[in-house]
Copies of this chain bind each other. A is one copy, B any other.
Amino acid sequence: MNTADLIALTATEAAAAIRDGRTTSEALVTAFLDRIEARDGEIGAWVRVDREHALDQARRADTVRGFGNGIGPLHGVPLAIKDVIETRDYPTENGCPLYSENTTRRDAASVAALRSAGAVVIGKTVTTELALLTPSKTRNPRDTSRSPGGSSAGSAAAVADQMVPAALGTQTAGSVLRPASYCGVYGFKPTFGLISRSGVLMQSHTLDTVGVLARSVDDLALITDCMSARDPGDPVSYDRSQPRLAKIASAKPPVPPNFAFIKTPAWKAHADPRMQEAFAELSGELGASCQEIEIAGLDSVLEWQRIVQLAENAAYYGPLQDKGRSPLSDGLNTRLDEGARVPVRDYVAAVASREKAYAAIEELFENFTAILTPASTGPAPLLSEGITGSPIFNGLWTYLGMPAVSAPLMEIDGLPVGIQLVGLRRDDGRLLRTTRWLATRLEAVEADT
């Protein structure tokens, strides 16, 4: 296989190619390393890539396969890790000078699980400052005058630019789905608690979720499967007692899915008018299988997410500020000051409201397979605006702990925009299956026109 073919492979396809002997891990990793060397000067997706270390891992994978030993589902496949997630071989700098050369020499539970599945950790990708809102150096590969979004900026950009088949990100409001939307790749934030957060920078214990950026639904499923296991080290992690996501996601839905199109209170004030039009069109294309639903009280849910994130940010990052404000950006200092002033009564109420709010949303799934809503307010903002875009269409579902996907199935003026699908907690498999169904359906519509 030539370089262009290799870097176009998804993780699932790459694993199969290595398994079947159509390529080697070394060839595959070399192709991606070359792509990174050629492109990352312009894109700035990576914090660290160690060519020799990556090739070492790849050659070792090839040796193991050569012995005819059993191999894992990601054997020899390079993956990127957002630089808020610890890896034993690279520092974890969290996009903040206070963590410069911060070397823990251990793998996060999620990274350890990926290594067990055979993956090659090719490098660490750029995050915004402490996985919050200050822009990073990364450019959007689809239009380098634009932001890739944040905070999983490097992961989204690297996947979009074929510098790696897939990458880990994290989401507290919209940090996986928003960059996925802007960069035109798939982003998946699984159910809260499905993937352990041990070894991940804590910004909000109530909200932080590890997620995946990739170029296919199969990859979201396969990579999540490899990481989902009960970890006593993360109190919110739970046992999975369900078939593997990859199996469910690749199956045909038993009945055609139907969608609850929810505009949310963010629609009127925040959604780009072109996005509003595009969703009206989408809704029309889906016909009877898509129904616009209004849910009362979502404005409170948005506010609860905001309060929880602000207060927990202040609790986890405030101690950094106590050491000196200057290594942090002005924006972050202001945000942490604001968080420290959140009345504790409001915070407790915001945390305690989550289950009640979820119960109201849960009912919806008696009649619908998934919620359909924008993954971002519109296409990526220009770098000159100095922002990474708003997570206002994502925070709601993160707060509710529901699995959510951004699917790159929409374009506005040539720029990608994600369609967000949201599923029932612990029903990640059905959500991925529904996403795949929607992708197929919309491709068919396109082929017709």
Contact = CB atoms under 8 A, between A and B. Distances in A.
Interface of A: 205, 235, 311-312, 314-316, 318, 339-345, 347-349, 352, 355
A172 to B, nearest CB: 14
Contacts of A345: 311, 314-315, 318, 339-340
Contacts of A311: 344-345, 348
23 contacts: A205-B348, A205-B352, A235-B355, A311-B344, A311-B345, A312-B348, A314-B344, A314-B345, A314-B348, A315-B345, A315-B347, A315-B348, A315-B349, A316-B348, A339-B345, A340-B344, A340-B345, A341-B344, A343-B344, A344-B344, A344-B347, A347-B347, A347-B348
Contacts of A341: 344
A327 to B, nearest CB: 19
A314 B343 CA distance: 10
Nearest to A348: B315
Identical chains bound together, number: 2
A205 B311 CA distance: 18
A97 to B, nearest CB: 22
A315 B352 contact: yes
A217 to B, nearest CB: 30
A314 to B, nearest CB: 5
A340 B344 CA distance: 6
A315 B304 CA distance: 14
A311, A342, A347, most chain B CB atoms within 10 A: A347
Contact of A344 (B235, B339, B352, B355): B339
Nearest to A315: B348
A314, A347, A348, most chain B CB atoms within 10 A: A348
Given A311-B345, A341-B344, 16 more contacts: A205-B348, A205-B352, A235-B355, A311-B348, A312-B348, A314-B344, A315-B345, A315-B347, A315-B349, A316-B348, A339-B344, A340-B343, A340-B345, A342-B344, A344-B347, A347-B347
A343 B205 CA distance: 17
A343 B343 CA distance: 7
Contacts of A316: 348
A313 to B, nearest CB: 9
A315, A340, A345, most chain B CB atoms within 10 A: A345
A332 to B, nearest CB: 15
Contacts of A312: 348
Contacts of A315: 344-345, 347-349, 352
A341 B311 CA distance: 14
A177 B258 CA distance: 53
A45 to B, nearest CB: 32
